[in-house]
Structure 1
Amino acid sequence: MHFLEFEKPIAELESKIEELRHLADGGDLNIADEVKKLQDKVDKLLRATYAKLTPAQKVQVARHPNRPHCLDYVQALITDFTPLAGDRLFGEDRAVIGGLGRFRGRSVVVIGQEKGNDTESRVKHNFGMAKPEGYRKAQRLMAMADRFNLPVISLVDTAGAFPGVSAEERGQAEAIAKSIESCLRLNVPMVSTIIGEGGSGGAIAIAAADRVLMLEHSIYSVISPEGCASILWRSAANAADAAQALRLTAQDLKELAVIDRVVMEPIGGAHRRREETISALGNAIEDALEGLRGQDGATLRQNRRQKFLDMGQKGLG
Structure 2
Amino acid sequence: MPSPTEYRLPFEASIYDMEARLGEMENQYARDRGAGGASKIGDQIRRLRRELASLKREIYSQLDPWQVVQVSRHPQRPQTRDYLELVFEEFLELHGDRAVGDDKAVVTGLANLDDMKVMFVGHQKGKNLAERTACHFGCAHPEGYRKALLKMRFAAKFGLPVVSFIDTPGAYPGISAEERGQAAIIAESLMEMSQIRTPIVCVVIGEGGSGGALGIGIGDRLGMLEHTYYSVISPEGCASILWKGSEFAPKAAAALKFTSRDLHRFGIIDEVIPEPLGGAHRDHREAAANLKGFLVRQLREIKATPLDRLMDLRYEKYRKIGVFTEQANEDPATPAPASLNGKQEAARTA
| TM-score bracket relative to the smaller structure | over 0.9
Q: CA RMSD in A?
A: 1.7
* Aligned-partner Cα distance in 2 for 1:263–1:18: 30
Residue 294 of structure 1: CA displacement? 3.1
The amino acid that maps onto 1:281 is L
The amino acid that maps onto 1:195 is I
Residue 301 of structure 1: CA displacement? 2.2
Of residues 53, 65, 68, the one that matches 1:43 is 53
Residue 25 of structure 1: CA displacement? 6.0
TM-score of the pair, normalised by structure 1: 0.95
Of residues 185, 191, 216, the one that matches 2:201 is 191
Gaps in structure 1 of 5+ consecutive residues: none
Q: Which moved more, 1:140-149 or 1:118-127?
A: 118-127
Equivalent residue number for residue 255 of structure 1: 265
Equivalent residue number for residue 106 of structure 1: 116
Of residues 17, 20, 39, the one that matches 1:15 is 20
Q: Residue 147 of structure 2 aligns to a residue in which SS?
A: helix
Aligned residues: 317
Residue pairs, 1:300-311, within 5 angstroms: 300-311=310-321
Q: Judge conservation of contact 1:142–1:182 (CA < 8 Å) in 2.
A: no
Residue 287 of structure 1: CA displacement? 1.3
Of residues 31, 36, 57, the one that matches 2:67 is 57
Residue 236 of structure 1: CA displacement? 1.1
Query: Are 2:134 and 1:124 equivalent residues in the alignment?
Result: yes
Residue deviations 1:152-189, cap 9 Å, x none?
Answer: 00001111101111111111101111111221121110
Residue 39 of structure 1: CA displacement? 2.5
Gaps in structure 2 of 5+ consecutive residues: 328-350
* Aligned-partner Cα distance in 2 for 1:57–1:43: 19
Q: Judge conservation of contact 1:132–1:167 (CA < 8 Å) in 2.
A: yes
* Aligned-partner Cα distance in 1 for 2:304–2:296: 14
Structure 1 outlier segments of 4+, above 6 Å: none
* Aligned-partner Cα distance in 1 for 2:12–2:278: 10
Equivalent residue number for residue 10 of structure 2: 5
Equivalent residue number for residue 283 of structure 2: 273
Q: Judge conservation of contact 2:60–2:277 (CA < 8 Å) in 1.
A: yes
Same amino acid, percent of matched pairs: 42
Q: Residue 280 of structure 2 aligns to a residue in which SS?
A: coil
Q: Judge conservation of contact 1:184–1:209 (CA < 8 Å) in 2.
A: yes
Larger Rg: 2
Of residues 74, 86, 102, the one that matches 2:84 is 74
TM-score of the pair, normalised by structure 2: 0.86
Q: Judge conservation of contact 2:29–2:42 (CA < 8 Å) in 1.
A: no
Residue deviations 1:6-28, cap 9 Å, x none?
Answer: 00111111122333445566674
Of residues 195, 204, 229, the one that matches 1:219 is 229
